[in-house]
């Protein structure tokens, strides 16, 4: 078995605001950075605030550690003065509210969105692994209406994990609900294409150790987890992985 590892995130500085992407409620933007790269920037000042960035970082890096394709995630330093380049007052306010550290995903030029029953279907094992991941992360946002999957260079890429760990937005103690069922997995866009979720569990679960979970969670800046804390996020995810794991059985039942 390949040992899963975590590589610390790079930090880049946004040098040019290119265009708003106007997708979903968070209004991400395409920006150029000081490494000459283009990134899809997720604003700290948008929608669900820093909690969505924590979910983006943790969900994306757990997926990467498990061997799934995720665009590189970076920290992006944003100067509020870049708001001057955007005529839309709403976007100006968003940039000014997000000065400092944000999250960005490497832009995949020419990528195509996955459209169920129109795009090339994923291999059953891959589909099962994505379903397993989203059941584990309680990701409510990988449905036929909004797959958050891209086809690029012959691979399926996972994007937009900001809706994962949704209980953090519900005003509930996540530790009391770590073993909670996730009925929404029945709506997963890849469930009709998936092989056995239990076999996916056997492949993936050994890779995701408590130590790896804690290391990934610790990468989130302290100010983003205020009121919850790194330890609580890590313990929530560790409890979901504890034997016997309920979420793979629930996903397998939904597949059947």
| Confidence grade of residue 108 (pLDDT, cut at 50, 70, 90) | very high
Work out the average pLDDT over 222-248: 92
Work out the average pLDDT over 120-133: 97
Q: Which residue has the higher pLDDT, 86 or 37?
A: 37
Exposure string (b/e) for 129-148, b if CB count within 10 Å is 16 or more?
A: bbbbbbbbbbbbbbbeeebb
Q: Which residue has the higher pLDDT, 168 or 44?
A: 44
Residue 1 belongs to some domain of the structure: no
Task: With both helix axes pointing from N to C terminus, report the angle between 124-137 and 50-65 in degrees, rounded to the nearest 10.
Answer: 140
| Confidence grade of residue 170 (pLDDT, cut at 50, 70, 90) | low
**Whether the Cβ atoms of residue 61 and residue 67 lie closer than 8 Å to each other:** no
Residue 48 has a pLDDT of: 80
Residue 166 pLDDT > 60 = yes
Other CB atoms within 10 A of residue 113 CB: 13
Other CB atoms within 10 A of residue 126 CB: 20
Residue 26 pLDDT > 70 = no
Residue 243 pLDDT > 90 = yes
Residues 126 and 248 in one domain: yes
Residue 162 belongs to some domain of the structure: yes
Provide the domain count of the chain: 2
Residue % of the chain over a pLDDT of 70:
95
Residues 156 and 246 in one domain: yes
Q: Domain range for residue 61?
A: 11-106
**Whether the Cβ atoms of residue 105 and residue 159 lie closer than 8 Å to each other:** yes
Residue 126 belongs to some domain of the structure: yes
| Confidence grade of residue 25 (pLDDT, cut at 50, 70, 90) | low
Work out the average pLDDT over 242-248: 93
Residue 120 has a pLDDT of: 92
| Confidence grade of residue 239 (pLDDT, cut at 50, 70, 90) | very high
Residues 85 and 164 in one domain: no
Residue 84 has a pLDDT of: 85
Residues 150 and 200 in one domain: yes
Q: How far is Cα 87 from Cα 92, in angstroms, rounded to an integer? A: 7
**Whether the Cβ atoms of residue 239 and residue 208 lie closer than 8 Å to each other:** no
Residue 4 has a pLDDT of: 86
Beta bridge partners of 156: 151
The residue with tokens 């979901």 is 240
Half-sphere exposure of 105 toward its Cβ, with a 13 Å CA cutoff?
25
Strand order in the sheet with 149-152: 112-113, 149-152, 155-158
Residue 2 belongs to some domain of the structure: no
Residues 133 and 250 in one domain: yes
Residues 117 and 97 in one domain: no
Say what the pTM is.
0.94
Residues 203 and 250 in one domain: yes
Q: How far is Cα 203 from Cα 131, in angstroms, rounded to an integer? A: 13
Residue 93 pLDDT > 70 = yes
Work out the average pLDDT over 125-140: 97
Residues 64 and 167 in one domain: no
Residue 176 has a pLDDT of: 77
Residue 227 has a pLDDT of: 83
Out of 40, 75, 106, a domain closes at 106
């Amino acid at each position: 078995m390949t040992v899963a590892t975590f590589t610390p995130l790079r930090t880049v500085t946004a040098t040019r605001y290119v265009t708003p992407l106007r997708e979903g409620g968070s209004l991400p933007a395409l920006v150029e950075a000081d490494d000459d790269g283009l990134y899809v920037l997720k604003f700290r000042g948008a929608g669900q605030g820093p909690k969505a960035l924590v979910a983006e970082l943790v969900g994306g890096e757990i997926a990467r550690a498990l061997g799934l394709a995720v665009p590189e995630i970076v920290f992006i330093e944003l100067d509020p003065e870049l708001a001057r380049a955007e005529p839309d007052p709403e976007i100006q306010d968003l940039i000014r509210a997000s000065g400092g550290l944000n999250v960005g995903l490497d832009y995949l030029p020419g990528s195509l969105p996955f459209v169920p029953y129109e795009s090339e279907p994923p291999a059953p094992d891959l589909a099962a692994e994505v379903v397993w991941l989203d059941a584990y992360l309680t990701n409510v946002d990988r449905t036929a209406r909004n797959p958050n999957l891209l086809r690029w260079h012959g691979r399926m890429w996972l994007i937009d994990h900001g809706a994962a760990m949704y209980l953090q937005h519900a005003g509930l103690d996540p530790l009391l609900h770590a073993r909670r069922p996730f009925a929404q997995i029945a709506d997963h866009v890849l469930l009709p294409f998936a092989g056995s979720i239990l076999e996916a569990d056997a492949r993936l679960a050994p890779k995701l150790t408590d130590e790896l979970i804690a290391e990934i969670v610790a990468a989130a800046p302290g100010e983003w987890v205020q009121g919850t804390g790194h330890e609580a996020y890590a313990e929530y995810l560790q409890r979901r992985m504890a034997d016997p794991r309920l979420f793979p059985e629930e996903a397998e039942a939904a597949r059947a």
